[in-house]
Amino acid sequence: CGRCHVACPIQTSGMAFSPRDLILDLREYADALSIAPHARLDQQRVKEDGRKILFGARVAALDGLSVAGGLIKEESLWPCTTCMACQDICPVGVEHVPVIVQLRRSLVAKGKLDEHLQEAFANLQRYGNSFGQSERKRAVWTQELGFKPKDARKEPVEWLWFLGEYACYHPALQDSTRALARVLMSARLDYGILYEAERNSGNDARRAGEEGLFELLREKNIAAMEKAKFNHIFTTDPHVYNTLKNEYPDLNHGRHPVHHYSELLVDLFERGRLKVTNKLNYRVTYHDPCYLGRYNGVYEAPRKVLRALGVELKEMPRSRRDSFCCGAGGGRIWMEEIGEAHSRPSEVRVREAAAVNGVDTLVVACPKDYVMFQDALKTTGLEGKLAVKDLTGLVEEAVNPPGAVQRCHFANDVSAYNRQAA
């Protein structure tokens, strides 16, 4: 029916990709197989723009030299961000994303992938992160905290904070990571981190077609977590949240619930562990991350936090289940742009946010969203007209006004910080 075609952020941006056409091509190939399983199918298909493309689909031998016998171009499989907008809107339940991921696996197995994606995979294999940084630098963000978070490998904690690599390594995100750490200290939350034992969760590697690498990363993370003592897990990155929650079935035998940090903050506000001392007067709109919203149904928690801070929240036309992808998912954040696009998904989204009447701030709850939208502000000329802020930064601004936390920088450990906070 084409609903997926209209919903797709990549197609909307003008790139040569359509989830509808992909499914129709696969159906055509399956029909050909069922009709003439031992024949060679040579046919021409007329595209919407009138150009004719000759296909030589080798129906008899699925030798893996082409995708669906040549009906599907290899490069057409990589623009997908796995945002699941197509799948969510489909009235008959077609599962586009698993099909695309499976086809990507066949290409990865043959080494047919973007060189930047290949580099990311190599870094994940060697270092456990796509940045190619030493594992010893994973906790470098803690150096400017003024206190040292507990090491969950060495002492029991109530909460294990599984940060994700972007929150740890990306320079533009480390301030947000420290902000959340200070907020949690203010709430006297008993939490710890895995330091260099944490690895990339594997969510995006899996969606990009590297199943073996995902399994390796999962195995290492589970081994690290099984050596730690904790009762709950919370994450910074929705991509990590999705994987730990849904794709780590052996994680301590499922005994430990996984939360996104926004859900944890709601609980801390509701129990009085966090209190707003500085009401914020921003007019904001909120972007629902694909892997938090469509994949896992978490829509209210970030909004409850925003309302607690006193901001005025205005929704974009496409919000909640209809949210428009930032363009980073499915490994796309590691890849070069494929073909020409009128606008990248991130550019489309910041323009949509800027068009909301009276809004001065676009709030995000995903590290990758922050990176994509900050870049989009520059390329769209919206820098200085619209601010992109992480939810954690707003929470600290409302809970720990400037100066309140800095006075505690003499603290050498968690207990000293807690005594000062008390």
User: Rounded CA gap, 140 and 339, in Å?
Assistant: 37
* 125 has pLDDT over 50: yes
Closest CA to 214 of 246, 169, 261: 246
Closest CA to 96 of 10, 217, 213: 10
What is the rounded (10 degree) CA torsion for 31, 37, 41, 46? 10
In 128-202, alpha helices (H):
165-169, 174-186
Strands 232-235 and 150-151: unpaired
DSSP 24-39: HHHHHHHHHHHH-TTS
Whose structure tokens read 């009762």?
231
For residues 23 and 84, the model is more confident at: 84
> Per mean pLDDT, which range of 30-39, 276-285, 328-337 is the poorest?
30-39
210: its two tokens:
């590297």
193, amino acid identity: I
For residues 236 and 42, the model is more confident at: 236
User: What residue spans define the domains of the chain?
Assistant: 3-97, 116-270, 283-399
Mean per-residue pLDDT, 30-34? 60
pLDDT tens for 226-240 read 999 999 999 999 999
Whether 32 contacts 57, CB under 8 Å: yes
Count the alpha carbons within 13 Å of 204 in the hemisphere toward its beta carbon.
Answer: 31
In 110-189, alpha helices (H):
115-127, 165-169, 174-186
**Cα 259 versus chain centre, distance:** 15
pLDDT tens for 162-189 read 999 999 999 999 999 999 999 999 999 9
User: Rounded CA gap, 285 and 356, in Å?
Assistant: 8
SS3 96: helix
Classify residue 330 as exposed, middle or buried by CB count within 10 Å of its CB (0-12, 13-18, 19+).
buried
Mean per-residue pLDDT, 344-373? 96
Torsion angles phi and psi, residue 215, rounded to 5: -65, -35
pLDDT on residue 268: 97
* 314 has pLDDT over 90: yes
Mean per-residue pLDDT, 293-298? 96
> Per mean pLDDT, which range of 196-200, 342-346, 365-369 is the poorest?
342-346
User: Rounded CA gap, 157 and 163, in Å?
Assistant: 15
User: Rounded CA gap, 361 and 370, in Å?
Assistant: 12
pLDDT tens for 66-81 read 554 456 677 778 889 9
Q: Count the neighbouring beta carbons within 10 Å of the beta carbon of residue 97.
A: 22
Please give the class, per CATH, of domain 283-399.
alpha beta
Strand spans (E) along 221-311: 232-235, 258-260, 283-286
Whether 23 contacts 96, CB under 8 Å: yes
User: Rounded CA gap, 37 and 387, in Å?
Assistant: 57
336: its two tokens:
């070069």
User: Rounded CA gap, 17 and 418, in Å?
Assistant: 53
Average pLDDT, the chain: 85
For residue 42, give the H/E element and its range: strand 41-46
For residues 336 and 192, the model is more confident at: 192
User: Rounded CA gap, 54 and 56, in Å?
Assistant: 7
